[in-house]
Amino acid sequence: MISLHVVVCHFCFENFEVEIETDGLFTGKNLEIFDCTVCCNPNKVEYSVWDGITSIRNVGDGNA
């Protein structure tokens, strides 16, 4: 399942969209690195999935 989410870049504070793909059976927490489409810096996006619903938990510095 693919879900689209708008997040705020940790560096330039502009909104950009991330596409998160999860298996329908997955439940738990995960993180992925997405480059900002405005400033190109890496953002670490932490999210959780419960009953097929993806929720963004935190957006931070993807360099660390």
> Rounded to whole angstroms, what are the CA distances from 15 to 11, 19, 27, 33?
11, 13, 26, 15
pLDDT in 10s for each residue of the chain, 64 residues:
899 999 999 999 999 999 999 988 899 999 999 999 999 999 999 999 999 899 999 999 999 8
Does the global pTM surpass 0.85?
yes
